[in-house]
Chains A and B, each alone.
Chain A
Amino acid sequence: MNLVKLTIDDKPVVVEKGTTLLEAAKSIGIKIPSLCYMKMDDMNFENKPGGCRVCVVEVEGRRNLAPACKTECTEGMEVHTHTVRVVNARRTVVELILSDHPAECLTCAKSGECELQDLAQNLGIREIHYTGEQSHYKGDQSPAIIREMDKCIMCRRCETACNEVQTVGVLSAVNRGFESVVAPAFEMDLDHSVCTYCGQCVAVCPTGALTERDYTWKVIEALVDPTKTVVVQTAPAVRAALGESFGMEAGTLVTGKMVSALRKLGFDYVFETDFAADLTIMEEGTELLDRLNRHLNGDKEVKLPILTSCCPGWVKFFEHQFPEMMDVPSTAKSPQQMFGSIAKSYFAKKMNKKREDLVVVSVMPCLAKKYECTREEFSVNGDPDVNVSISTRELAQLIRNANLDFAALPDDDFDQPLGESTGAGVIFGTTGGVIEAAVRTAYELHTGKHLERVDFKELRGMEGSRKATVDFDGLKLNIGIAHGLGNARKLLEEVKSGKSEFHAIEIMACPGGCIGGGGQPYHHGNVDVLKKRQRAIYEEDKGKPIRKSHENPFIQELYKEFLGKPMSDLSHELLHTHYFNRKKKAEIE
C-alpha cells in the first residue's frame, strides 16, 4: 500500500495515496463543510463535480484555495481548514448561493432536512452581502415529483442519480452560466418525459428543488368524510425507516407503533401491502413455474427469464426503454395495485360496501407508486383501485400533525383479513427479497417437498447486481438480481442479446430496493442507513411465524372464497396487467 503523510490543521495524518483531503480530514475527526459532494460506494453513486466550492481549504504553497472533495493528499502537504481566508471564502460562497435562492425556508417542503439550510446555520450566516437578480424557472408538478428549480443550486446530484446510477437520462444541465439549471430536454414537464418517478433525484437533492408531490391533505379529507370507509395499506419497507423521522436509530422496526398511529389518525382498517406481496408470490410464482415447465417441455414460444414486475419505476423504465421486451416481465400487478384491486372487490363485498365508498390509501417508501395509482388501467369507471399514495415521509408528517408522540405509542396489530402477512411478504422491502420469497413458494409448489431452509442468503446483499443458482431438487434455477436501474439495464441488455443464462430476474428501480425508495426519510448519502433498514427487514422476516406466502391462511382463504386458483380468469382480471409501449417522441409544448 502506498501511504502519504500530511498535516491537516497541524494534526499529522497518514492516508492511502488517492485519498481526498475531505476523507483524510474526516478520518481524524475534522469535518470540512461540503455541499455538492455525495458518495455512496455500494450504490455506485459518486457526485463530486467540485462545483459548489464550499469545501475549499488552504494548502501551503498553493496559489488558490483547493476543493477538499477533489484534491488528493500528497506527501508533506500542510492543510488548513479554517484560516480567516478559508472561512471568508466559504462564507462568501454560501452567501452567493443564498443570493440566488428563494428565502422561503419557513414554508419549504425541505425545511429541517435541507443541507443548504444546515450549512448556512453551521456557518452562522446572518446576512447576505451580495444581492441581485434571482433565477426563475417554470414550475413542474408531476403526479409524483415536484420540481421547483428556483431552489436548484447546481450540485448535479440529481443528474448523477438519473443518468449514471439509474441511466434513465431525463435530466441534464442545460443552458450555461447564471441561467444554467438541471432540467429535462426542452425544459418539458416530467410527465412528458421518460421519467420513471423512481425518485432517486429527490432522495439526493440537498435542497427543496426536488420534492415529492404531497397528498397528505387528500388523506385528511378522506379521513374526515363520514361517507367514506378509509383503508390503509403499508408497504414492508416503511416500518424499517419511519422511526428515523422521529429521531430513532436507522433500522429500528416500528411496525406496531405505526399501526397504532394509523389507527389514531382515523383509518377504518389498517392493512398491510405485505399481504398483497404474498398474493403477488402466488401469481408471479405460478407464472414462473408455468413458463418454466413449458420451457422445459420444449415450448419455443415461451419467454425466459421471467422478470419481476412489482416495481412501478422499473415497469415504466422498460416501457420507455425496452418496449420490444414487454412480454418478458411477469404480468402480475405490483402488490400496491393487487391490494387495491382486492380491497375494492373482495373486501368491499365482504364488508357490504360499494367500491366508490371505499378509499384506499397506501403508505409507500416510493414516489413511483403515486404515479402508478393514477395509471388508467388501474381504475374501474374512473375510480382508482388505490386512491392516494403517500410516502413514508408524508406519513411522518401526518403523525406530527396529529400531535402523536410516536415513540410513546403502544404496539398494535394489523386488521384482518388483509393485514395478515408472512415473512416472505416482508422481505419484498429489500433487494433480493421478492425473488427469495418466490423461491420459497415455487420450490414447494414445483417439488412438492417441504422446504426446510427458508433463508436463501445467497440471494441477499447490497451488490448492485447479483446472481445465484438455486437447486430445485435437481433443477438448477439461475437467478439474477439487480437494484438500481443502471444495473437493471445491463441485465436487460444481456437478455435482449440472448446471452442471458437466467431463468428469473428480480429488478428493483431503487438502490437497495424499496428500503432505499425515493419516499423514505432522507439518508443524506449515508449508506449505513440503508444497510440497517435491510437488516431490520430480515429481522422482521425471521420473527414471523409463517415465512412462505402460500402458507398465509388468509391468502388460502382468498383463493378458496373468491379467486379460485392462481392465474384463474378472475385472477387475471384483478391481479394481472399489461404494458404499454411508451417509446414515442416526447411531446413538446
Chain B
Amino acid sequence: MAKFKNHILVCGGTGCRASESEAIAVNLKRSIDENNLENDVQVVRTGCFGFCEKGPVVKMVPDNTFYVHVTPDDAEDLVLEHLIKGRKVERLLYVDPETKEHVSDSKHMDFYKKQIRIALRNCGFINPENIDEYIARDGYSALGTILDEMTPEESIKVVKDSGLRGRGGGGFPTGLKWEITLQSESEQKYVVCNADEGDPGAFMDRSILEGDPHSVLEAMAICGYCIGADTGLIYIRAEYPLAIKRLKIAIDQARDYGLLGKDIFGAGFNFDVEIRYGAGAFVCGEETALIHSMEGLRGEPTVKPPFPSVSGYKGKPTNVNNVETFANIPAIFLKGADWFRKIGTEKSPGTKVFALAGKVNNVGLIEVPMGTTLREVIFDIGGGIKGGKKFKAVQTGGPSGGCLTENHLDLPIDYDSLIASGSMMGSGGMIVMDEDDCMVSVAKFYLDFTVEESCGKCTPCRVGNKRLYELLEKITLGKGDEGDLTRLRNLANVIKDTALCGLGQTSPNPVLSTMDNFPEEYEAHVKESKCPAGQCRALMQYVINPKLCTGCTLCARVCPVDAISGDKKMPHFIDTSICIKCGACMDKCKFGAISIQ
C-alpha cells in the first residue's frame, strides 16, 4: 500500500453494496482521474467495516476520517473537499448521539471503543481481492513459520494452549478436535470449512470471507498440516455470491503464489482447497449433515458417534471448523497462545463476533472479548434501543438460542454463561427486542424457522416441532388454555431430550427461555386473551375514539378492506368483523384517534 499517498477505503460488504457503495467507488475513481490524482490516491473496496447502521461507510487513510451514510453523489465532494482542499466534509461525519458533536476517527466512536478485532482484524483494512495486502499484514507468515519450524504436534499444542473454542455454536475445543483428527489413522484426511451460515440474523462468516478470505485459507492450510490432510473443502451457501467470488479470487492468487498447491514453502507439504456449495438447508450447518450434502446426498444428520474426526467426508477423518474459528488461527500463531488467552475469560478465551441487529441504534458486526456484558454490547456499542423505547429482551444464538432479559444484562457473555441462562452462543446472532415485541410471537417466529428447516429424519423434530409451532400459533390466536402451557413445556423438554441432531435438540430453546423469562406474557395470552405487547393481531382491536375523530375520512380511504365507515366530518367507525388489523388507518390518522385495544 506504500506507493500511494492516500487511500480511500470503501466498504464492499453486502449491506453497503446494497446501498450503492460500488457506485460510490466508481464515482470516486472518476473524480480522482478528473483531478489527475490517480498516482496519489487509490480507491480500495474493502470488506465490511461492521458499522452497517451507518453504511455506506467510506474511510480516508492515512488521516482515518470515517464518513457515514455516503451516497454516490457525495464522491465528488470527498475528492474536492477532503483530498484537494484538506477540509473534512462535515455533513458526512458521524455525530455522537450523546454530545451531538462530530467524530471523525472511528476509534473515538463508542461503537468501536470496546471492540477488539482478531477474527475481523483485516476486514475493512485491506482489499480482499489482493493477496499482497494480506501478506503485507503478516499474511501467510504463520503458515511459513509452522512449516519451517514446527511439527504438527507442536502446532496443535499452540491451538490447544490458546483455549480457542469452536465459534460455530457448540464451543468444542478446537485444538482437541485437531488432535483427534490427527490421531485418526488414514491415508486420506480432509479439512472442511463450514461456511454454511444459516442462522437468520448472523452474517459474520460471510463478512470474514468477503473481507479477509486469505485468513481462512491460511488457517485451513495450517490445519491440514497439523492433522495430515492435503485437501480442504469450503462448504459455502450459494446465496453468498460475493463471498464466493472473493474466495475464488483468493484461492487462485494463493495458488499463483505457491501458498496453496504442491510443496508449499518448499517444505514438502501439499494442500489445496475446493469450494462446495450449499443449496439452502439450515440443517447443513450441522457437521454430519454438511458432510452428507458435500457427498451429493440429502443433508440429513447422522447419529454421532462416529464423529467426523474419525469418519467424515467419504468415510475419512475430517476436521470441520467454521469460518470465524479458522480466522482466529493465524493470529494465534503470530501473537502466541498466551496473548490469546489473556483476552476474554478463562474458559472462553479470545473474542467473539456478533451480528448485532434488531431494535438497537447501531446495527452492525462487532467483535468483543468474551466476558463483555450484554449491557456493554447493547447500550455502549449498540447505542441503546431505537426510538427511545424500552429494552425488553435480547435473543442470542438464533433458532437454537434463547431470549435473555434485563436481569441478564450484566451477564458476561461466554459459552457457558449463556447455556447456564437458557440460551447459547450459537453462531453469534444477537437480536435486540423492545417493548413492542411479543415474546410468544418471537418463539413462534423461531419455531416457524425450525419447522421449515427441519430435515424430517427424526420424529421429535419432524412432528414435535410442528406441534410446538401449532401450540404457539393457537396461543397467539387467543385460543390457548393453561393445559397448552403444560403441553408446550413437556413437549419442548422431550424434543430437547430426544432429537437426533443439534438443530433438533436446541430448537425448543426459544420456547423454553421465553416461557421461563416471560411467564406472565404467556399467561396473559391464555388466561386473558391479551397480548401485552400489542403484537398478536388476533388479540387486538382497532377502535376509533369518537371524541378525537374529526371525520377527515383519511382512514376510510386508506383502509384496504373498506372496514371503516362514517360520514364526512362525523366520527368514523371500524367494523371489527371486516378489519384485517393491518394498522394502516392508525398510521394515517393525524389526530391520534385510532388505538389498539
Contact = CB atoms under 8 A, between A and B. Distances in A.
Q: Do chains A and B touch in the complex (CB under 8 A)?
A: yes
Contacts of B464: 92-93, 96, 130
A136 interface: no
A179 B463 CA distance: 10
Given A64-B498, A64-B505, A89-B497, A175 B491 contact: no
A50 interface: yes
Given A132-B467, A133-B466, A176-B281, A64 B459 contact: no
Interface string A29-40: 000000000000
B177 to A, nearest CB: 19
Interface stretch (B138-146, B196-204, B447-455, B519-527): B447-455
B457 A49 contact: yes
B570 interface: no
Nearest to B461: A177
B305 interface: yes
Interface string A79-93: 000000100110011
A125 B283 CA distance: 32
Nearest to A58: B497
Given A65-B497, A72-B305, A100-B463, A52 B458 contact: yes
Contact of B459 (A93, A129, A131, A175): A93
Interface string B458-472: 111111101100110
Name the residue in B451, B464, B494 with the highest tally of chain A Cβ atoms < 10 Å from its Cβ.
B494
A178 B454 contact: yes
A130 B487 contact: yes
A92 B490 contact: yes
B463 A53 contact: no
Given A99-B463, A133-B466, A178-B454, A50 B303 contact: yes
B302 interface: yes
Contacts of A65: 497-498
B87 interface: no
B457 A96 contact: no
Contacts of B457: 49, 51, 154, 180
A317 B14 CA distance: 52
A587 B524 CA distance: 55
B499 interface: yes
Interface string B481-498: 000000100110010111
A304 interface: no
Contacts of A52: 458-459
A570 to B, nearest CB: 53
| Size bracket of the A interface | 35 or more
Nearest to B455: A176
A70 interface: yes
A521 interface: no
Contacts of B500: 50-51, 53, 67
A97 interface: yes
A51 B460 CA distance: 9
A182 to B, nearest CB: 10
B interface: dominant SS = helix
Contact of A70 (B281, B300, B303, B491): B303
Contact of B470 (A71, A133, A175): A133
Contacts of B471: 130
Interface residues of B, number: 34
A89 B494 contact: yes
B460 A53 contact: yes
Interface in A407-435: none
A52 B463 CA distance: 11
A154 B464 CA distance: 14
B462 A180 contact: yes
Contacts of A53: 458-460, 498-500
B511 to A, nearest CB: 14
A56 interface: yes
Contacts of A154: 456-457, 459, 462
A180 B456 CA distance: 6
A173 interface: yes
Contacts of B462: 154, 177-178, 180
A85 B455 contact: no
Contact of B456 (A50, A54, A92, A179): A179
B395 to A, nearest CB: 22
Contacts of B505: 64
B467 A56 contact: no
Contact of A132 (B298, B300, B455, B466): B466
A88 B460 CA distance: 13
Contacts of A50: 302-303, 458, 500
Interface in A159-174: 173
A132 B459 CA distance: 15
A343 to B, nearest CB: 48
Nearest to A129: B487
Given A50-B458, A70-B303, A97-B463, A177 B499 contact: no
Given A99-B467, A132-B467, A177-B453, A51 B459 contact: yes
Contact of B298 (A99, A173, A178): A173
A51 B467 contact: no
A130 B458 contact: no
B498 A173 contact: no
B577 to A, nearest CB: 26
Contacts of A179: 456
Contact of B498 (A56, A71, A177): A56
A49 B303 CA distance: 8
5 nearest CB pairs, A to B: A180-B456, A177-B454, A132-B470, A96-B463, A50-B303
Interface of B: 281, 298, 300, 302-303, 305, 451-464, 466-467, 470-471, 487, 490-491, 494, 496-500, 505
Interface of A: 49-54, 56, 64-65, 67, 70-72, 85, 88-89, 92-93, 96-97, 99-100, 129-133, 153-154, 173, 175-180
9 contacts: A51-B457, A53-B499, A53-B500, A65-B498, A96-B460, A130-B467, A177-B453, A177-B455, A177-B466
